[in-house]
Amino acid sequence: MTSLPAVPLTLEGASVLHQMMRFRWTAWKALTPAERDAVLAEAAATLSAMEQSAMYSLIGHKGDFMLVHFRKDFEELNRAEIALARLRLSEFLEPTTSYLSMVELGLYDSTLKLYAGLAERGIQPHSPEWNQEIEVQLARQRQVMAPRLWPAIPDRKYICFYPMDRRRGESVNWYQVPMDERQRLMHDHGMIGRRYADDVKQIITGSIGFDDWEWGVDLFAEDPLVFKKLIYEMRFDEVSAVYALFGTFYVGLRVAVAGLAELLKV
């Protein structure tokens, strides 16, 4: 029997795009009040029709706004991006960065059990029978996990978004750790997050092959302090302390479409 695959099974759901923007205040102030009203009315009509999009006012120098879109696939994300670009408001929004990913659920526990069971039956990895059994298991999991794979954007006041990697060089390499050990580490890591489940909603997205980092993390909460508490505690967890690398953090407040005019008032 060939050695079992090292890659854990995953489930993918909604396609996700984060757009970070800087607002051109000088150009905006140069418009007449009537012109600003017309721009905002057009933007409000388009944004109101986007059910799975949300706007956030970023805090700090990294940008002024972040738009988050959850869609069925990349084609729908592209249509949302183009629809926003067609707005006159886009003349005052300067993109600073973006992030493309898909909602992802890792199945370490299920993978270990399934691989072991198939091996005991003498089924060769990657054979047609192996692949069929894998797909049956994934189809069953997709039905059970549908609410987590296709979530609505949580209606919380604050968002914290950041990308992250697993170390794969220097002194340690996550991708060379045996799967059962990775499963243990991820289980322990996940138990920390569960303790914060009442205060923060977490959505993990996979971005390998889509963007510069491997995963994106969105945290949604009514109190931003929970972001600090959760992430700080996780830094002491082995999987983060040894194997995690973190990108730029973005923190913002949810902006309702009706509140955009007040936010851009001059």
Handedness of CA 202, 205, 206, 210 (dihedral sign): negative
Angle between helices 179-195 and 225-235 (to 10 degrees): 150
List of E strands, 37-167: 53-58, 65-71, 93-106, 158-166
Amino acid 3: pLDDT: 83
First-last CA distance in the chain:
70
Report residue 149 as tokens. 């794979």
DSSP secondary-structure letter at 96?
A: E
DSSP secondary-structure letter at 236?
A: T
Among 16, 19, 12, 149, smallest CA distance to 70 is for 16
Mean pLDDT, residues 188-204 taken together:
92
Predicted confidence band at 1 (pLDDT cuts at 50, 70, 90)? very low
- pLDDT of residue 204 exceeding 60, the answer is yes
Catalytic positions: 162
Full DSSP string of 166-230:
E-EETTEEGGGS-HHHHHHHHHHHHHHHHHTTTTEEEEEEE-TTTSSSSEEEEEEESSTHHHHHH
* pLDDT digits 0-9 by tens, 85-96: 999 999 999 999
24-41 per-residue burial string, b: 16 or more CB within 10 A, e: under 16: eeeebeebeeeebeebbe
Predicted confidence band at 220 (pLDDT cuts at 50, 70, 90)? very high
Give yes or no for a contact between 57 and 255, defined as CB atoms under 8 angstroms apart.
Answer: yes
Calculate the average pLDDT of the chain: 95
Amino acid 2: pLDDT: 54
* pLDDT digits 0-9 by tens, 242-265: 999 999 999 999 999 999 999 999
* pLDDT digits 0-9 by tens, 180-194: 899 999 988 888 888
Q: What's the whole-model pTM score?
A: 0.93
- pLDDT of residue 159 exceeding 90, the answer is yes
Residue 227's alpha-carbon distances to 59, 166, 203, in angstroms, are 14, 20, 13
CATH number for 14-103+255-263: choose from 3.50.50.60, 1.10.1370.30, 3.30.70.1030, 2.130.10.10. 3.30.70.1030
Report residue 22 as tokens. 């800087």
Report residue 9 as tokens. 């099974």
- pLDDT of residue 60 exceeding 80, the answer is yes
Q: Helix/strand/coil (H, E, C) string of 127-138?
A: CHHHHHHHHHHH
Mean pLDDT, residues 92-107 taken together:
97
* pLDDT digits 0-9 by tens, 28-45: 999 999 999 999 999 999
Amino acid 11: pLDDT: 97
Percentage of the chain lying above the pLDDT 70 cut: 99
Give the up-direction half-sphere exposure of residue 40: CA atoms within 13 A in the CB hemisphere.
18
